[in-house]
């Protein structure tokens, strides 16, 4: 038998989560895999899932995999709505944010290279989600981060969410200046 030496691949996967004191809102989930993380992407989805820095839900795993494949060192995940446990019902969404939600998004936007809106068809199907997305995009533009703004789309240019079957294998990132099909 021939003994082969295998050199291990070393990396530090680091996570940081920002909750409110009562842990009813998750404002931000940051995961980095290169230290120091110099090139970060922000991905904005609809509302937080089960990920808490240790436990990862499917959306978080897909986002990390694709953002890594795009050449970033880490990802900052934020949401249109920060309240935990939401299912997208309009009555729930009315109280889906608090006064800190947008502040955290804008502070993180300052430190990232790209901001990817990955909300799929949810804003098209839900008036409150459409209003929230428009508010966030407007505040990103007013803060001077318009050039960082992009959308997750499928191969046909349709807006997509990370869980959408058409983007599970490959993400298409469309700059905000390019018109995405809604």
* Model pLDDT for residues 139-161, shown as the tens digit of each residue: 999 999 999 999 999 999 999 99
Report d(CA 66, CA 154) in Å as an integer.
13
Residue 4: inside a domain: no
What sign for the dihedral angle of Cα 21, 80, 162, 116? negative
How much is the mean pLDDT over the chain? Answer: 91
Residue 28: inside a domain: yes
* Model pLDDT for residues 89-109, shown as the tens digit of each residue: 778 899 999 999 999 999 999
In the prediction, which pLDDT does 181 show?
A: 47
Match 């995940």 to its residue by tokens: 77
Residue 1: inside a domain: no
**Domain span including residue 57:** 14-175
Burial of residue 12 (CB within 10 Å: 0-12, 13-18, 19+) is: exposed
Q: pLDDT category, 4, cuts 50, 70, 90?
A: confident
Domain count, the chain: 1
Q: In the predicted model, what is the mean pLDDT of residues 173-178? A: 84
Residue 6: inside a domain: no
* Model pLDDT for residues 115-144, shown as the tens digit of each residue: 999 999 999 999 999 999 999 999 999 999
Residue 5: inside a domain: no
In the prediction, which pLDDT does 107 show?
A: 97
Residue 182: inside a domain: no
Residue 3: inside a domain: no
CATH classification of the domain holding 136: 3.40.50
Q: In the predicted model, what is the mean pLDDT of residues 37-47? A: 96
């Amino acid at each position: 038998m021939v003994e082969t030496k295998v050199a291990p691949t070393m990396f530090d996967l680091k996570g940081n989560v920002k909750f409110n004191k009562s842990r009813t809102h998750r404002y931000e989930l940051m995961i980095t895999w290169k230290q120091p993380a110099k090139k970060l992407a922000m991905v904005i989805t609809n509302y937080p899932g089960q990920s808490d820095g240790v436990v990862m839900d499917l959306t978080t795993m897909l986002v990390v995999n694709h953002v890594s494949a795009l050449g970033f060192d880490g990802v900052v995940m934020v949401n249109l709505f920060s309240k935990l446990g939401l299912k997208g019902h309009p009555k729930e969404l009315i109280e889906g944010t608090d006064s800190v939600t947008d502040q955290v998004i804008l502070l993180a936007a300052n430190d990232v290279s790209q901001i990817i809106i990955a909300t799929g068809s949810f804003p098209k199907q839900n008036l409150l989600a459409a209003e929230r997305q428009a508010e966030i995009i407007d505040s990103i533009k007013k803060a001077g981060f318009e050039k960082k703004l992009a959308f997750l789309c499928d191969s046909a240019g349709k807006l997509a969410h990370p869980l959408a079957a058409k983007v599970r294998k490959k993400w298409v990132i469309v700059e905000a200046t390019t018109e995405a099909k809604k």
